[in-house]
Amino acid sequence: MRRALLLAFVAVHCLGHTIIAETRVAAPAGTGIVRPEILAAFKAFPKVKVHQDGEWLWVESNGLPDHPMMIGITSWQQQVALPQAYTGSNGWQIPIQPKVAPSPIPLHNRFLRGAVALAANGIPIFNPQNNRGEVSQDIGELDKWGGHCGRGDDYHYHIIPLHLQTTVGKSLPVACALDGYPVYGTTEPDGSALRKLDDCGGHEDAKYGYHYHGTGKTPYVFTAFHGVVTEAEGQVDPQPRAQPVREATSPLRGAVITGFAADGDNAWKLTYTVGGETRSVRYAVIGSSIKFDFDNGKAGKTSETYQRKEGGGKQGGGAGAKDARPPRRER
């Protein structure tokens, strides 16, 4: 019988890092207590909020990481990263007591919609394959941090974000799969060399229980769910829903994203090059509206404003609003 693990830890802040001194004791299964290492990983990011109800660990975030985004993408669908309301009943749900599946549940060509895991910073992790079945990392769709924006202008990763180890350290997971098992980095939680992984991309450990590992190379995420998950309409269920404000945009061939930065309160600017020309998109959240300002180079400047509501909805635009994004018609 598998055992639940309890972790007592003391956090010491030193030179901007949190050091976790830990002792572990076994707890009987059925206690309804989340694995403390999972809880500690999420709590390492102050903007992420967690609570539990005995069955689920609820994780809330705004869907935006603290690190830069989008830089380095060479295959871009012209989506941007908007704040998402992953809160309340639309928060992330992770089972507190994962159940071992009768057999591994493969990710390959399945679960091509939605997330398969949640990073410790509150950012969802999708299947390495995009919704067309292509491996996003291999075709230039991902930024330097392993993420990009989906059709709902929602930022997410398609690889395990190993860079989060600089915040959580090696002793804590960088993510948690939606079956409830933690995902560690390229070493074992005690810092020792990575042991052989099973067909799911994880393994059992007498001290740390079952867990997955990210390795930074193909297949980029664990290969199968070790635990029970419910699949509905091509994704793990339940999980929150992104809230788009506009229709999905189309690819812009030849575009390379070169910059991304905050540009005022709740405003950001994305810079890219295409055809030897530098262009940009500035967007700002103003109450319930999102205003986009497009610098399309020789094609001119245009603006659009959308009202935030489920499913999106165009509110207006300014001069040229009807043809406000001419580059998006390029194929």
User: What is the pairing mode between strands 314-316 and 301-307?
Assistant: antiparallel
pLDDT in tens, 115-154: 999 999 999 999 999 999 999 999 999 999 999 999 999 9
The sign of the CA dihedral 288, 312, 90, 143 is negative
Average pLDDT on 38-63 reads 97
pLDDT at 54: 87
pLDDT in tens, 274-319: 999 999 999 999 999 999 999 999 999 999 999 987 544 433 333 3
User: What is the pairing mode between strands 49-52 and 100-106?
Assistant: unpaired
Percent of the chain at pLDDT > 70 equals: 84
DSSP states along 60-104: EB-S--SS--STT-SS--S-------B-GGGSEEEESS--EEEEE
Task: Calculate the average pLDDT of the chain.
Answer: 87
* Tokens at 300, concatenated: 């001119």
pTM metric for this prediction: 0.86
DSSP states along 214-270: --SSTTSS-SEEEE--EEETTEEES------SSPPP---TT-EEEEEEE-STTEEEE
The sign of the CA dihedral 240, 245, 250, 256 is negative
pLDDT at 95: 97
pLDDT at 32: 74
Phi then psi for residue 297, to 5 deg, are 65, -130
pLDDT in tens, 216-233: 999 999 999 999 999 999
Whether the predicted pLDDT of 18 surpasses 50: no
- 321 exposed, middle or buried (CB, 10 Å; 0-12, 13-18, 19+)? middle
Phi then psi for residue 47, to 5 deg, are -75, -10
pLDDT in tens, 67-112: 999 999 999 999 999 999 999 999 999 999 999 999 999 999 999 9
pLDDT at 17: 38
Cβ density class 236-256: b for 16+ within 10 Å, e for less: beebbebbbbbeebeebeebb
Whether the predicted pLDDT of 19 surpasses 70: no
pLDDT at 31: 56
Whether the predicted pLDDT of 1 surpasses 70: no
Average pLDDT on 180-209 reads 97
Whether the predicted pLDDT of 166 surpasses 60: yes
Residue ranges of the domains in the chain?
29-237, 256-329
Identify whether the C-beta of residue 7 lies closer than 8 Å to the C-beta of residue 29: no
pLDDT at 33: 84
